Structure 1
């Protein structure tokens, strides 16, 4: 796995260097490479950051160019494109051999990964564990703590390779979740946190309540009171948002609107006249667009109405 990651980093650095050329014409190939593996995007971003750092270092260290006595700028030698490309390859090799590890270590250790509404992202960790981030979500990782994540907002599905000696830890608000060979979904919903397990087990707040969730169990943790409410959930529904299946149990329309906005990428509010309504059931979102919203609104006993800043759920019999 380490060799694979190093190979990806090497390719990412070569792409990052090549794209700095004004005559770079390989955008289609770069796009294909980025889409070939979920790890490529993160590696490319890191390589760009490393390249920027090196450029600043070189600019700072480079001696000032001597001007001619008549103050006329010196003629600039023409550069050969092929030579430049060979130079970039040599530079990439030199960076990898001498500077790559220090540069990676000098990056900020904690870092955030976020998604826009309607966008999803898969993060593959060094041990092949995966984190699938739903739309409109923000996750914090720490290079100094590879078995740690913090969900600040939104929703994520964790597929973790268990290590009994070094369990994976997820934090969100004041809650601490520890894996025990696990696939589980975590959703930060305002002042509450929802955790549902489909495989293995999760221990909620092991230093306090130590609630153990087995497959088919979920917990809601209220931030204000600290109360943990445990209930059942169908294993197939855990992380169902990945396939467009959104499951709710006595959820407010405000919660449902937030979930639909994460999935569809469409700003969505709820009319004050029906904000008190609740819903239990499954919404199947076939497409990630406005048509899907128009299709699911009647299931909630509502209509979706276009507003200047997005959409609003109103009562089905409400006047336009």
Structure 2
């Protein structure tokens, strides 16, 4: 495991322990002071606490992160348990249940690290030269696995987005898989993006074929320079055109949106923000967005996008933004 992976697992474990401690002794002011200090110590701690809180919220109540949000004591407190055994048992149950739920979050990240040959973190871009001479430009918070052996040229996009500049080889087509959607080329430049429940492919130069063989009916689309297609996991297909120079605009530090759902653009901006972005209004997320946004300032981009549709962006903590309707 990489050092970054070990650090991520460590802070996740710490967040789980804090949750159990706060549930076990919610009236301990000194404990709250220590927790606040830990929470403010780093963005990683805040992100781990936010993830842990989201998971525990599905199980019940999350302890408020700050003393100002504590509930007033009950006018007639319940009698204390007869022994501390029940309290320790309850804490153990919380810890066990939380550990099981955390596995749903930690395990996918761990599996991604195990599968990926190349990864990027928040706001990081990376250029990768493959053994066949092709180049992959990996977008922020993205990951790929590469197969270049036994006459095959293949890349699996595990997360995020990438641009492929493929060296021509008629005897060995280059295949990019994203979920069940496969793009096949001989030599060209194109972008593939995993986008929630869909995969998008846009061509900058040359031609590609996009297949989703397991859809009913099967999907097969041929694209040329300036074409894009979005294939949903259900087999739903949307197709359109884009200036070739706008394909993968993130390589120039921009997001170019043309009549895209706000939720989709917000999801792309998440790759450039060091904390969490919560889109709290489903109707707002369905609004259509057109514009050019600078990924170097994702907060300003969010405010511009939301404000154009009567929404707002609230900073709940240094690492948590909530986008909601006005």
Q: 1:300 to 1:245 in 2, by over 3 A?
A: farther
Q: 1:276 to 1:166 in 2, by over 3 A?
A: same
Question: Which segments of 5 or more consecutive residues in structure 1 lack a partner in the other structure?
Answer: 1-108
Match of 2:169, SS state, is: coil
Aligned-CA RMSD value: 2.6
Instruction: Determine which structure has more spread, i.e. the larger CA radius of gyration.
Output: 1
Q: Deviations over 1:205-261 (max 9, x none)?
A: 29754321001100010112x233221112111000111221234322221111111
Match of 2:122, SS state, is: coil
Is the CA contact (8 Å cut-off) linking 1:266 and 1:290 kept in structure 2? no
Whole-angstrom distance in 2 between the partners of 1:301 and 1:120:
32
Q: Deviations over 1:84-106 (max 9, x none)?
A: xxxxxxxxxxxxxxxxxxxxxxx
| Alignment match, 2:260 | 251
Q: Deviations over 1:140-194 (max 9, x none)?
A: 1135366210112111111111211111100011111001421111110111000
| Alignment match, 2:68 | none
Is the CA contact (8 Å cut-off) linking 2:260 and 2:290 kept in structure 1? no
Q: 1:143 to 1:265 in 2, by over 3 A?
A: farther
Whole-angstrom distance in 2 between the partners of 1:265 and 1:232:
32
| Alignment match, 1:219 | 229
Q: TM-score, normalised by structure 2?
A: 0.57
Q: 1:300 to 1:285 in 2, by over 3 A?
A: farther
Is the CA contact (8 Å cut-off) linking 1:305 and 1:313 kept in structure 2? yes
After TM superposition, the structure 1 = structure 2 runs for residues 1-320 of structure 1, keeping only pairs within 5 Å, are: 111-144=116-149, 147-205=153-211, 209-224=219-234, 226-272=235-281, 274-285=283-294, 287-288=296-297, 290-291=299-300, 293-294=302-303, 297-299=306-308, 301-308=310-317, 309-315=319-325, 318=326
Q: 1:292 to 1:180 in 2, by over 3 A?
A: same
Whole-angstrom distance in 2 between the partners of 1:210 and 1:234:
22
Whole-angstrom distance in 2 between the partners of 1:263 and 1:297:
17
Deviates further, 201-210 or 287-296: 287-296
Match of 2:271, SS state, is: helix
Whole-angstrom distance in 2 between the partners of 1:196 and 1:278:
22
Q: 1:228 to 1:291 in 2, by over 3 A?
A: closer
Q: 1:144 to 1:127 in 2, by over 3 A?
A: closer
Match of 1:119, SS state, is: coil
Is the CA contact (8 Å cut-off) linking 1:115 and 1:137 kept in structure 2? yes
Match of 1:144, SS state, is: coil
- CA positional deviation for 1:279: 2.1
Q: 1:180 to 1:300 in 2, by over 3 A?
A: farther
Q: Deviations over 1:6-57 (max 9, x none)?
A: xxxxxxxxxxxxxxxxxxxxxxxxxxxxxxxxxxxxxxxxxxxxxxxxxxxx
Match of 1:162, SS state, is: coil
Is the CA contact (8 Å cut-off) linking 1:134 and 1:263 kept in structure 2? no
Deviates further, 132-141 or 169-178: 132-141
Match of 1:205, SS state, is: strand
Q: TM-score, normalised by structure 1?
A: 0.58
Question: Which segments of 5 or more consecutive residues in structure 2 lack a partner in the other structure?
Answer: 1-113
Whole-angstrom distance in 1 between the partners of 2:271 and 2:250:
10
Whole-angstrom distance in 1 between the partners of 2:323 and 2:285:
12
